[in-house]
DNA sequence: GCCAACGTTGGC
DNA sequence: GCCAACGTTGGC
């Protein structure tokens, strides 16, 4: 299957691209997705080798900081059953059925310069990107190959 | 800090 | 099944 491309949002105060670079093997599990649309993308469409744009949301410095690659396809997000986790899902725990999954991603290339949200907005070729649409809250979004390449270029890769 | 947009919940 | 109320996201 052809390589696909994604944008994944993270609040840098919680987990930044820098944190990913510092993680063992520059790899992390992407726990805590609690939205069915985003889950379905990870569960059904993520393939090993897919490209990821790492986006910092809810920040004064919102934007894309680097790329990553999918190194493990969807598997159960056990944090949903972990009472000590911020991502504990009481409802799912009571039913003893866990609907949530996560994937593993590995840092690929840090951008030489971050591609800020303002920079994304200024680039007419990116005008129809989902992340730039008003009210776009989906934390895992599909990205076209063209957009991925344009952004990697803007990031200095 | 404000608030618009969105997803979910629950009463009816 | 409708929809108002609510909680959350995230840009500004």
- Nearest-nucleotide field for A36 (CA, C1'): B7
* A55-94 confidence digits (pLDDT tens): 999 999 999 999 999 999 999 999 999 999 999 998 899 8
Q: CA(A135)–C1'(C4) in Å?
A: 20
Whole-angstrom Cα distance, residue A120 to residue A38?
22
Whole-angstrom Cα distance, residue A61 to residue A112?
15
Asked whether strand C has any atom less than 7 Å from the CB of A116, the reply is no
E strand or H helix at A20: helix A17-22
pTM strictly above 0.85? yes
Whole-angstrom Cα distance, residue A62 to residue A79?
27
Whole-angstrom Cα distance, residue A81 to residue A27?
22
Q: CA(A26)–C1'(C9) in Å?
A: 27
E strand or H helix at A91: helix A90-95
pLDDT value of position A2: 85
């Amino acid at each position: 299957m052809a390589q696909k491309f994604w944008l994944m949002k993270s609040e840098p105060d919680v987990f930044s691209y820098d944190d990913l670079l510092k993680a063992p093997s520059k790899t992390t599990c992407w726990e805590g997705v609690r939205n069915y649309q985003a889950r379905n993308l990870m569960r059904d469409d993520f393939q090993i080798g897919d490209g990821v744009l790492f986006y910092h949301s809810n920040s004064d410095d919102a934007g894309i900081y680097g790329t990553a690659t999918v190194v493990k396809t969807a598997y159960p997000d056990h944090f949903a059953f972990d009472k000590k986790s911020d991502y504990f899902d009481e409802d799912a725990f009571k039913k003893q059925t866990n609907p949530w999954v996560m994937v593993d991603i590995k840092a690929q290339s840090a951008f030489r310069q971050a591609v800020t949200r303002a920079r994304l907005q200024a680039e007419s070729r990116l005008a129809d990107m989902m992340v730039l649409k008003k009210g776009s809250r989906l934390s895992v979004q599909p990205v076209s190959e063209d957009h991925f390449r344009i952004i990697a270029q803007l990031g200095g890769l």
